[in-house]
Structure 1
Amino acid sequence: MNQLKGKVALITGGTKGIGYGIAEVLLNVGMRIVITGRDKDQTFKAAYELTPNGGKVLPLVADVRDYTAMQEVVVEVLKTYGQIDVLIANAGVGHFAKISDLTVDQWKETIGVNLTGVFHSVKASLEAIKKAKGYIMTISSLAGTNFFANGTAYNASKFGLTGFTQALMLDVRNDDVKVTTIMPGSVSSHFGGRSPEDGKDWRIQPEDIGQIVLDLLQMHPRTLPSKIEVRPSKTASS
């Protein structure tokens, strides 16, 4: 744990769900956390809830679809902490509908946030990550390899994200930068309009993904799990 204390993790979409769960876990081992979100009130509220006594969470308002905004995030993180050791490209949205009902705006938002937004986040922070010999993790989905009805936009974004991350891993592995994509199945969160079931849920909990992130950060540097699929142990009908 001591090797992670004081390290800086930038988590996009860190205001709730998986991003928030990851932030909680990394805070507990002494890392300094930066979270981004599109809504100012929600972003600052999440930062306060994560550390009500202040000090270890920096909230920054940014839309990952805006490359300039992500560049400004990186500048602010480096100004505040001087380094970025870990990027968790987590920000994501989901629109699910038959292609006949899916709107152009829904398509653009899904691809813009889930795929282009990750490119922007990685591109903006890459030099800092290289300097730190750090780690990039993207949060894809089992929908990045398994297609389903009503998933044209979401499947396209996550298939693309899985491919992007694996190619990125090959691009930077000799720069001492590690890259992993985590591909969760059903997670207990408000994603896609769902409601968590207050601990009675059969789905993966956000902090479980946080534990995977922590395990990856503690793994011996010679070993790289470049793609991790994770699903609930049981199904809803079990």
Structure 2
Amino acid sequence: MGIIRFNRIPMELTDKVAVVTGGTKGIGFAIAESLLGEGSRVMICGRNKRDLKDASERLAVHGLLESELCDVRSEDQVRMLLDESSRRMGGLDILINNAGVGYFGKTVDEMSGEEFRQTLETNLFGVFYACRYAIPLMKERGGGYIINISSLAGQNAHPKMAAYNASKFALNGFTEALMQEVRHDNIKVSYICPGSVNTAFGGDVPNQEKMWQLQPADIARVVIDLLQMPERALPSKVEIRPSKPPRRF
């Protein structure tokens, strides 16, 4: 018998409309930059007006960029963000849920209720809001792709990271359920679980001594690779970690 070949081409990223939450710094910025480099039209959001302005000026040279202030903890703000991106750019094809917070170094009895609440509302509820309002827009376009930025902390618990662990464990379960719900609507859903990334997230300080860590561009590369997978293929979960961390033995 001859080989049966199916014409399942990757997503063409030119002129696709993408929303990247938390796109002003670190991983989100690198993802937005990579999408613009592939010819996509990109909307970024952030909570800090100055950071949003600075990121927009740096990214605008790479392609068609829009930006909007948005606190993903607010369902109304997320809904308006998605509606505005669709109105300005003509629809929605790609959603990257990257916005996140982390409070590290505190035990459960040291952490405030507000810190725990903010972690869950940002890392989990914000993703839910964005997906809830993005899915109808993607269905109107005949499909799309949702990529949630999780963490290896979503499967490996650590002391003094309980809130962050809880948010990412929940995000992983949410994403896997969502993937099964919308796959037959031609909407792909994946989540990426990075290890240590050389950013300022969680109060960390990027420096040359930590160049063994992953770089934001490494995560952006994974995003582009996922988007360009053949239509028939869905890598629903990607783990990525530094190849040579400091020895512990």
Alignment TM class, shorter chain as reference = over 0.9
Supply the distance in 2 between the matched residues of 1:43 and 1:122 (Cα, whole angstroms): 22
How far apart are 1:51 and its partner, in Å?
A: 2.1
How far apart are 1:150 and its partner, in Å?
A: 0.6
Tell me if the contact between 1:43 and 1:59 (Cα under 8 Å) persists in the aligned partners: yes
Q: Which deviations, in whole Å up to 9, do the C-alpha atoms of 1:4-36 show, x marking residues without a partner? A: 111111000000011011111111111111101
> What residue number does 1:64 align with?
72
Report % sequence identity.
Answer: 45
Supply the distance in 1 between the matched residues of 2:14 and 2:98 (Cα, whole angstroms): 22
Q: Which deviations, in whole Å up to 9, do the C-alpha atoms of 1:22-58 show, x marking residues without a partner? A: 11111111111110101122112101111247x5111
Q: Which deviations, in whole Å up to 9, do the C-alpha atoms of 1:59-87 show, x marking residues without a partner? A: 10011011110111111111111111100
Q: Tell me the SS of whatever aligns to 2:235.
A: coil
Q: Which deviations, in whole Å up to 9, do the C-alpha atoms of 1:144-184 show, x marking residues without a partner? A: 10001111100000000000000000110111100001010
Q: Tell me the SS of whatever aligns to 2:42.
A: strand
Residues 54-133 of structure 1 aligned to structure 2 (within 5 Å) = 56-96=64-104, 97-132=106-141, 133=143
What stretches of structure 1 move > 4 A for 4+ residues in a row? none
How far apart are 1:196 and its partner, in Å?
A: 1.3
Tell me if the contact between 2:190 and 2:237 (Cα under 8 Å) persists in the aligned partners: yes
Q: Tell me the SS of whatever aligns to 2:140.
A: helix
**For the pair shown, which has the larger CA radius of gyration, 1 or 2?**
2
Q: Tell me the SS of whatever aligns to 1:88.
A: strand
Letter of the 1:22 counterpart? I
Q: Which moved more, 1:112-121 or 1:128-137?
A: 128-137
Tell me if the contact between 2:11 and 2:227 (Cα under 8 Å) persists in the aligned partners: no
User: CA RMSD, aligned part only?
Assistant: 1.6
Q: Tell me the SS of whatever aligns to 2:95.
A: strand
Change (3 A) 1:199 1:172: farther
Letter of the 1:43 counterpart? L
Tell me if the contact between 1:67 and 1:124 (Cα under 8 Å) persists in the aligned partners: no
Letter of the 1:69 counterpart? Q
Q: Tell me the SS of whatever aligns to 2:180.
A: helix
> What residue number does 2:12 align with?
3
TM-score, with length taken from structure 2: 0.91
The answer on 1:26 being equivalent to 2:23 is no
Q: Which runs of 5+ in 2 are unaligned?
A: 1-9
The answer on 1:134 being equivalent to 2:133 is no
> What residue number does 1:168 align with?
178
Q: Tell me the SS of whatever aligns to 1:51.
A: helix
> What residue number does 2:233 align with?
223
> What residue number does 1:186 align with?
196
Change (3 A) 1:232 1:42: same
Q: Tell me the SS of whatever aligns to 2:238.
A: strand
TM-score, with length taken from structure 1: 0.95
Change (3 A) 1:110 1:2: closer
How far apart are 1:236 and its partner, in Å?
A: 2.9
Q: Tell me the SS of whatever aligns to 2:175.
A: helix
Supply the distance in 1 between the matched residues of 2:201 and 2:246 (Cα, whole angstroms): 17
> What residue number does 1:40 align with?
49
**Paired residues, number:** 237
Supply the distance in 2 between the matched residues of 1:47 and 1:124 (Cα, whole angstroms): 24
Letter of the 1:59 counterpart? S
